[in-house]
Amino acid sequence: MKALKAILVEDSPVIRENLIAALEEMTSLTVVATAADEAGALRLLSTPEAPVDIAIVDIVLVRGSGLNVLRALQAQGSPIERVVLTNHATPAMRRQCLALGASRVFDKSGEIDALIEHCLERAAEP
């Protein structure tokens, strides 16, 4: 199982801390950086010195939007996998995120286990 490096874009400190603890305990993923807003996320994700495998992005941020983060990564042709974790996982939002390059969209209220499973599957890929 390979180790994955991730950036977590989440504005809630409680969710951020709990999610990092769960992901790092249950998978081989390491969260190497976090951002609470769009500008911070874009700064982190454009830094070539800290390549990551996956970006876990919330849609509603304290400043800016996770949708703009997805748009920027898509425009850059970034190879970073984009996964969305949001409380707003409506069918329309899921379609919009997938159209902007997200590989998966997970609902915070009931799909954390599916996110963990996704990370386990990614780490098991050759």
What DSSP letter does each residue of 31-82 carry, written as one string?
EEEEESSHHHHHHHHT-TTS--SEEEE-SB-SSSBHHHHHHHHHHHT--SEE
For the chain, the first-to-last Cα distance in angstroms comes to 8
- pTM: predicted TM-score of the whole model, two decimal places: 0.94
Residue 65: domain span: 4-124
Average pLDDT of the residues of the chain: 93
Query: Residue 93: which CATH number?
Result: 3.40.50.2300
Q: Which tens digits make up the pLDDT trace of 22-59?
A: 999 999 999 999 999 999 999 988 876 558 999 999 99
Stretch 54-72: mean pLDDT, rounded?
A: 96
Number of domains in the chain: 1
CA distance 23 to 35: 17
Stretch 68-83: mean pLDDT, rounded?
A: 94
